[in-house]
Copies of this chain bind each other. A is one copy, B any other.
Amino acid sequence: MKKLINEPDDVVADALRGIEAAHGDRVRVTFDPYTIVRVDAPVKGKVGLVSGGGSGHEPLHGGFVGPGMLDAACPGEVFTSPTPDQMLEATKAVDGGAGVVHIVKNYTGDVLNFEMAAELAKAEGIEVDTILTNDDVAVEDSLYTAGRRGVGVTVLVEKIAGAAADAGKSLQEVTEVGRRVNAAGRTMGMALTPCITPASGEPSFELDEDEVEIGIGIHGEPGRFREKIGPASQIAERLMTPILEDLPFSSGDSVLAFVNGMGGTPLIELYIVYAEVAKIAAAHGLKIERNLVGNYITSLEMQGCSITLLRLDDELTRYWDAPVNTPALRWGA
C-alpha cells in the first residue's frame, strides 16, 4: 500500500485539517466529533441539509457543503458510516428553525446511525426528515437484501434538494423533491482495479490484468460479476442497459447524464465514456439536457466509473441550474 498519508489511523483527521486549512473561509470543521459545517450556519428560516457517510468518497460529502447545497457533512472513518453524535451535532448546528433533512445513502450502517441521530434530534425538539438514496441498479431490491445502495444519485439529490431549501421551500417540500430525484435516478458502476483502505492495507478484491468488475458499489466491495475487459463502448453499454431498463427511461425523456470517476481514473477516460453514453442515449431517443463528468463520489484510488441517469422535469432542471457555491461544485456564484 502506497498512499500520501501519515498514520492510517489519522487519515480522516488529517484530511479534515486540510479541508479546514483550504476552505476555512466557507466551512467550520469540528474534530470531536467530526463535522464540516457551513461557516454561516444556521441560516435562519432555511431548511438545513445534513449528509454524511464513510470517508474515502471525496469530494462527497464535505466538498458539497456551501450555499445551494449541504449545510453540513459528517465524515465517518474510511468506508464506515459516521456515528449518531456527529449527526446530532451537525443537525443542531444547521437547524435554522425550519427543520433539518438528513440525506442518507442506503447502507445498513448509515441508515441505523442516522435513525438513532434523528431520534436524538427529535428528542431535542428539532424536526427531522430523511431522504434515503438507493439508486444502484446492480443490487436487487428485494426483501432478501439490504436493498439498493445509494450511489451516484446522492450527489444530484444533494444539489437539487439544496437548491429547493435555498429557494425557501418547507421541510416537507425539500424532502419531497429530494425523494423525487432519487426515484427518477438510476446508477451502475464498474471497476478496473480494487482500492485499498488505509486500515487494511490490502486490496478489496483481486482482479486479473484483463478483467473488470461490473456492478460495484463505492466501498471496494466486489461487484455482481466480473468479465474480460472490453472497449469503453462495450463497458458503457454494460452499464447503460440495466439503467435504461430499470426506471425505465423512454424515448423523448430529458435526462441529466452523470459520468463519475471512482477516484483513480483520469478525466480523459471519463470523457471517452461520456462520448459513449451520449451515443447510447441518442440511440434510445433520450435528450441529455444536463451533464456532469468528473470525480464526485469516489472509492479512494479505485479505477473505474459509474454512470447515473436522472430523468429531468422543469422543476428539477431549474433546481439543478440554481447557483451553488461549494468547494467541489460551483456555478452562478
Contacts and interface: CB of A to CB of B under 8 A. Distances in A.
A130 interface: no
Contacts of A233: 6
A4 interface: yes
Interface string A235-274: 1000000000000000000000000000111111111111
A6 B303 CA distance: 16
Interface in A103-161: none
Contacts of A301: 264-266, 303
A296 B107 CA distance: 32
Interface string A54-69: 0110110001000000
A328 to B, nearest CB: 8
A266 B7 CA distance: 16
A225 B275 CA distance: 39
Interface string A267-291: 1111111110010000000001001
Interface in A305-327: 305
A323 to B, nearest CB: 10
Contact of A272 (B11, B56, B63, B271): B11
Contacts of A332: 333
Interface of A: 2-7, 11, 14-22, 55-56, 58-59, 63, 192-193, 209-210, 212, 229, 231-233, 235, 263-275, 278, 288, 291, 293, 295, 298, 300-301, 303-305, 330-333
5 contacts: A2-B192, A3-B192, A15-B272, A21-B275, A295-B295
